Structure 1
Amino acid sequence: MTDSKKQGIALPALVALVVSSAIGSGIFDLPSTLAQAATPGAALLAWVITGIGILTLSLSLNNLVLTKPDLTGVSDYARAGFGDFAGFISGWGYWLSAWLGNVAFATMLMSSLGYFFPPLKSGNSISAIIVASIISWALTILVTQGIESAAVINAIVTITKMIPIFAFIVIALITFKAGIFTSHFWDNMSTNLMGKVTYTAPTRAGIFSQIKGCIMVMMWVFVGIEGATTMAARAKKKSDAGKATIIGLFSLLSIYIVVSILPYGYLPLAKLQTMRHPVLLYLFKEMTGPIGGAFIAVGLIISILGAWLSWTMLPVEATSLMAEQGLLPNWFGKLNKHRAPANSLWLTEILIQLFLITLLFTDQAYNFAYSLCTSSIAVCYALVGAYELKLGLENRHQSMIWCGLIALVFEVVGMIFAGLQYLWLCTIAYVIGFVLYYRARKENNHPISKIEWIFMIIIGLLALTAIIALILGKLKA
């Protein structure tokens, strides 16, 4: 960029990137998913805990953007704090999480289109895979025309997809029944605190178990909160990346809380738990009639497309930055005439296409992809928190210490709640990346250190045991 005043991503587009990256399809099932895990009281407490955890992560990202303006993206923070190998683990995991998540977007989008076109409803039929493939390649081609222009389109998509969500919020407020909500809240809250059996079968657990069940869901609807930080190098003002992260966080948190809590005051808990998916679609249909259902269905389709576009940009930006840092071969960082990392884009698209094809034969590829996606992104976030904590200790800066510590603990606990077997599975994908890391180090005349070899051997052994466990059926994706 030669003229930062004319080129680059502006603050509104960065905020849109954060919101669009995080709001995909998860919000449309959030009311039922949380209702199956907890009562309103426990869900609200879980939102407070999750909000604090994600806030400290966002503040950490903001602090790092301001205090380390020469660094860009989650892999750069891990590299600066803990060495090149940590940077590779973070960046490679981020790339894996991003494009594997796009496979999930593809199947969910087809199921949503199935509301209007029944042959696509299963999500993995031949017709569904063909349509998903066409859309995936179209988004990749769009991003190859320039990431800045794609970000502008993404901002427009974000505004469009928020209209149905806000319409749902308005109607849900109008139809909200305080009696239903308060009855559920206090009755179940008090019995849970006393450790007694609660309202219905899905919530027969203590308050801790209910909060745990909620946090597992809530953590993943915030994946994408780092979107502006990842694109900081392309921002008009780098400091805007931190601002966009904080603005995006409070926007997301407000929307998620309202959308997930209001339905508790519209339907009895037992009915909310058993509604068809996507829940917002059928809730709105019940509130307003068939036209309302179609309205939300269109919103869901736009929402997934917007998130898919965001997550087409973010993974290749990560690999491009890693190539600049010498963590991946230079091939990954080569830009086309539109300044888009075309090589990374085409490779990522080919991998997505291969996974889409496997969906024709089995749904295990999808489950495996989802498992890797959720674990690898938590590792990236944990390293951000760890770096913030390290800087805080070095500079004796109390707010940085607390932000980093809370963010680190939150992400580690989240990985434990989600299941350590997923992190075990993740080691298989890291081992594949070690080949590229070795080539990059050789390409840049940077020998791999003894400690890096030790870590690679340990992770390699864990990956080998994971493969054996998968073959023997002892470990399931």
Structure 2
Amino acid sequence: MSTEPKKLGIIALTALIISSSIGSGIFAIPTDMADAAAPGSALVAWLIAGLGVLTLCLSIVNIGNKKPELSGIVSYAEDGFGPFNGFISGWGYWLSAWLGNVAFATMMMKTVGRFIPAFEDGSNLLSILVASVVLWGLYFLVNRGVESAAALNTIITLCKLLPLALYIILACLFFDLDTFTANFWGTASGGFEWSSVVSQVQNSMMVIMWVFVGIEGAAMMSDRASSRQIVGKSTVLGLIGLLVVYIAASILPYGIMRQEQIVELPSPAMGYVLASNVGSWFPVVVNIALIVSIFGAWLSWTMLPAETTLIMAQRELLPSKFGDLNDKGVPTYSLFFMTALTQAFMFTLLFTESAYQFAFSLCTAAMFISWLYVVLYQVKLSSDLKDTGQLLLGIIGSAFFIWVIWASGIDYFLLCLIAYLVGIFFYIQARKQKGVKKVFSQTERILLGLLVAGAVLALYRLATGQIAL
């Protein structure tokens, strides 16, 4: 039996981006955004984030055209800055993926609890056991072949977008402009106040960027694409679709009820925004859609990290066993390793009440690292090619992602560095397998020192209670 994988077309790749991004975040976004910002400030935040993510997408398109031989964002970092930086980018992407799966599991079980009270808030023993069944079910599905999972993913995307479209249409019908503009900037004076708006925008960033996780999915699946050209097209199409859906989902509720009323809605809030307008059936429909949505995103994030570790093993950034393929062309060891870690982390839900928020914040912070490497490589590549326009794009993107790491909370970034201490062990093992005598260059030793120092600082802040989980 041939292990040569089938190639994915533009529809499958675009569906992968949309499905991997639209998960639990969009259904909770009305309350999450209302808790952080008034409608005017929220629109400013979306504008800034949209432009920032656009620089990422256009950078992926440009790099894909200029360097078609590279296989996704892991290889971007390695090609531009050396093997250790390639490892840092890939490990961050992989870490983000399975932490996101923990967030998916928590929200899925919490939503099931709306129908079956025994599941309570989604973090009791029954919830973890059922989530574990789903986790390992997805493992066996993806282990049968990535393309069969991708085909199912396309169907799931269509199923969940229909309820979202219904929500947006109904929200437009019940939208009231006077309600929307009643406290447009969320300030004491009722007018624009720079300091207040900036604070609200910063508070919104982690929520906004969480829902964009997955936009780079087509680049990470570039080896599976039928042509290099469709990778860039799929990424941009995915971003346009996501922006339309996300802005509508988060902004329209401000025209249906007051900001303080949105904040008090049950979670997930999307269905309850319209409950008083259309009836109690609507939250039921939305909750079912949420379960389907999470399943689709969870499926995607079972596929993507396996691709990541496969690429890293092929580039000798991880031990060769991470690249072992079964007869379906799937990296079985990588898939099992990630699934086992996700399973272990799930049991922490028994001991914390904020597992969902912590998991999605850590997931997003880890992804920031990989995204930052993309735009930094855009800067280096464009500088080498003396392409002024693309260089400016990379500089803007780099400034945005450095800012968003700070604005979203530096503590989550520091916590990610702790996880890198484990990954470095695998990196050293891989380099020794290759026969490299000097694992780290002088520059890489400095970077390693900064990474370790950041991890130690995070551990200290955890021990002293300065970082609360």
TM range (shorter): over 0.9
Q: Is the alpha carbon distance of 1:406 and 1:9 closer, same or farther for their aligned partners in structure 2, counting shifts above 3 Å?
A: same
Distance 1:150 1:405, change over 3 A: same
- Alignment partner for residue 440 of structure 2, among 449, 453, 460? 449
- What is the CA distance between 1:318 and its match in structure 2? 0.4
What CA distance in whole angstroms lies between the structure 2 residues aligned with 1:3 and 1:433? 29
- CA spacing shift, 1:81–1:279, aligned 2, 3 Å: same
1:361 maps to 351
SS at match of 1:359: helix
Alignment of 1:42-57 (within 5 A): 42-57=41-56
User: For the structure 1 residues 368 and 456, does the alpha-carbon distance in structure 2 shift closer, same or farther, using more than 3 Å as the test?
Assistant: farther
State yes or no: 1:210 paired with 2:200: yes
- Residue in 2 that maps onto 1:159: 158
User: What is the distance in 2 between the residues matched to 1:270 and 1:360?
Assistant: 31
Which position in structure 2 is the counterpart of 1:198?
Answer: none
| 1:472 and 2:464 correspond | yes
| Other-structure match for 1:99 | 98
Structure-2 separation of matches of 1:369 and 1:268: 29
Letter in 1 for 2:95: L
2:330 equivalent to 1:346: no
2:13 aligns with 14
How big is each residue's C-alpha offset from its partner over 1:309-335, in whole Å with a ceiling of 9 and x where there is no partner?
010011111010000001000100111
Give the C-alpha shift of residue 365 in structure 1.
6.5
CA distance in 1, matches of 2:54, 2:188: 26
Residue identity (%): 43
Change (3 A) 1:291 1:429: same
Q: Kindly indicate whether residue 141 of structure 2 is the aligned counterpart of residue 149 of structure 1.
A: no
Cross-structure match for 1:27: 26
CA distance in structure 2 between the aligned counterparts of 1:422 and 1:123, rounded to whole angstroms: 23
> Which residue of 2 is the match for residue 201 of structure 1?
none
CA distance in 1, matches of 2:168, 2:150: 27
Aligned mate of 1:460, from 452, 464, 469: 452
> Does the 8 A contact of 1:42 with 1:189 survive in 2?
no
Whether 1:373 and 2:363 are equivalent positions in the alignment is yes
**Quick one: which of 417, 421, 426 aligns to 2:407?**
417
Q: How does 1:387-426 map to 2 (within 5 A)?
A: 387-426=377-416
Runs of 5+ in structure 2 lacking a partner? none
Query: In the superposition, relative to structure 1, how do residues 457 and 145 fare at CA in structure 2: closer, same or farther (>3 Å)?
Result: same
Does 1:248 pair with 2:238? Answer: yes
Closer/same/farther in 2, CA of residues 462 and 48 from structure 1, 3 Å limit: closer
Tell me how far 1:290 sits from its aligned partner.
Answer: 1.9
- Structure 1 residues 369 and 300, CA, compared in 2 at 3 Å: closer, same or farther? closer
Structure 2 CA distance for partners of 1:9 and 1:189, relative to 1, 3 Å? farther
The CA deviation at 1:367 is 6.2
List alignment gaps of at least 5 residues for structure 1.
Answer: 196-204
Of 87-96 and 438-447, deviating more is 438-447
The verdict on how the C-alpha distance between 1:60 and 1:363 changes in structure 2, with shifts beyond 3 A counting, is: same
Does the CA contact (< 8 Å) of 1:319 and 1:333 recur in 2? yes
Q: Paired residues, what number? A: 467
Which residue number corresponds to residue 221 of structure 2?
231
Alignment of 1:104-123 (within 5 A): 104-123=103-122
User: In structure 2, how many angstroms separate the alpha carbons of the residues matched to 1:12 and 1:189?
Assistant: 48
Give yes or no for contact 2:3–2:328 (8 Å, CA) kept in 1.
Answer: no
Letter in 2 for 1:467: L
Amino acid at match of 1:466: A
Q: Is the 8 A contact 1:41 1:189 kept in 2?
A: no
Give the residue type in structure 1 aligned to 2:54: L
User: Structure 1's 475 and 269: CA in aligned 2 closer, same or farther, altered over 3 A?
Assistant: closer
Amino acid at match of 2:99: L
The verdict on how the C-alpha distance between 1:47 and 1:367 changes in structure 2, with shifts beyond 3 A counting, is: closer
What SS does the aligned partner of 2:468 have?
A: coil
Supply the AA of the counterpart residue of 2:459. I
Per-residue Cα deviation, 1:391-414 (whole angstroms, up to 9, x for no partner): 111222122112211211111111
Alignment correspondent of 2:313: 323
The 10-residue stretch of structure 1 (74-83 or 358-367) with the greater mean CA deviation from structure 2: 358-367
Q: TM-score when scaled to structure 2?
A: 0.95
CA offset at residue 268 of structure 1?
1.9
Structure 1 segment 54-69 matched on structure 2, within 5 A: 54-69=53-68
> Contact 1:225–1:248 (CA<8 Å) still a contact in 2?
yes
Paired residue secondary structure (1:245) = helix
SS of residue paired to 2:184:
helix
User: Contact 2:35–2:263 (CA<8 Å) still a contact in 1?
Assistant: yes
- In 2, Cα distance between the equivalents of 1:223 and 1:153? 20
Say whether the 8 Å CA contact 1:434–1:456 is kept in structure 2.
no
Going from structure 1 to structure 2, the CA distance change for 1:461 and 1:270 (only over 3 Å counts) comes to closer
What is the distance in 2 between the residues matched to 1:29 and 1:367? Answer: 11
- Distance change >3 Å, CA 189–CA 384, structure 1 → 2: farther
CA apart distance, 1:127: 0.8
CA–CA distance in 1 between the matches of 2:440 and 2:3? 41
**What is the CA–CA distance in structure 2 between the aligned matches of 1:187 and 1:424, rounded to whole Å?**
31
Aligned to 2:71: 72
CA–CA separation in structure 2 for the residues paired with 1:38 and 1:256: 15
Which amino acid is the alignment partner of residue 423 of structure 1? F
> Which amino acid is the alignment partner of residue 198 of structure 2?
F
Distance 2:204 2:334 in 1: 35
Q: In the alignment, what sits opposite 2:125?
A: 126
Output one character per residue of 1:313-367: Cα deviation in whole Å (capped at 9) or x when no partner.
1111101000000100010011110111111011111111111123223457766
Which range moved further: 443-452 or 180-189? 180-189
Amino acid in the other structure paired with 1:156: I
Q: Partners of 1:210 and 1:95 in 2: how far apart?
A: 30
Task: Indicate whether 1:440 and 2:439 are aligned.
Answer: no
1:144 aligned partner, one-letter code: N
DSSP 3-state at the match of 2:405: helix
Are the counterparts in 1 of residues 56 and 374 from structure 2 also a CA contact under 8 Å?
yes
CA distance in 2, matches of 1:193, 1:104: 35
Q: TM-score, normalization: structure 1? A: 0.93
Amino acid at match of 1:343: Y
Q: Secondary structure at the match of 1:276?
A: coil
User: In the alignment, is residue 39 of structure 1 matched against residue 38 of structure 2?
Assistant: yes
Q: 1:199 matched to which residue of 2?
A: none
